[in-house]
Amino acid sequence: MTLLIVSGSARRGSLNTRLARLLAAAVPHGEVRVEHDLRRLPFYDGDLEAAGVPAAVEDLRAAVAAADAVVIVTPEYNGTVPGLLGNTVDWLSRPAGRSVLRDKPVVVCSASPTRFGGVRAAEHLRAALVRVGARVAAGPAVAAVHERLEADALVDELGRQLAAALQEVLGDQSAAVPA
Ligand X SMILES: Cc1cc2nc3c(=O)[nH]c(=O)nc-3n(C[C@H](O)[C@H](O)[C@H](O)COP(=O)(O)O)c2cc1C
Smallest separation (angstroms) from ligand X to the CB of 58: 26
Gyration radius of the chain's alpha carbons: 15
Residue 69's DSSP bridge partners are 3
Q: Which of residues 33, 87, 116, 154 is near ligand X by CB under 6 A? A: 116
Using the minimum distance from each CB to ligand X, give the nearer residue, 22 or 100: 22
Residue of 165, 7, 123 lying closest to 72 (CA atoms): 7
DSSP string, 61-80: HHHHHH-SEEEEEE--BTTB
Q: Is 16 in the site for ligand X (CB under 6 A)?
A: yes
Could you say whether residue 112 binds ligand X (CB under 6 A)? yes
15 lines the binding site for ligand X (CB under 6 A): yes
Binding of residue 79 to ligand X (CB under 6 A): yes
Q: How far is the CB of 112 from ligand X (least distance, A)?
A: 3
In the complex, minimum distance from the CB of residue 127 to ligand X, in angstroms, rounded to a whole number: 16
Query: Does 113 sit near ligand X (CB under 6 A)?
Result: yes
Size of the site for ligand X (CB under 6 A): 15
> Smallest gap, in angstroms, from Cβ of residue 78 to ligand X?
5
CB of 103 to ligand X, least distance (A): 29
Residue type, 76: E
| Residues of this chain that bind ligand X (CB under 6 A) | 9, 11, 14-16, 75-79, 112-114, 116, 118
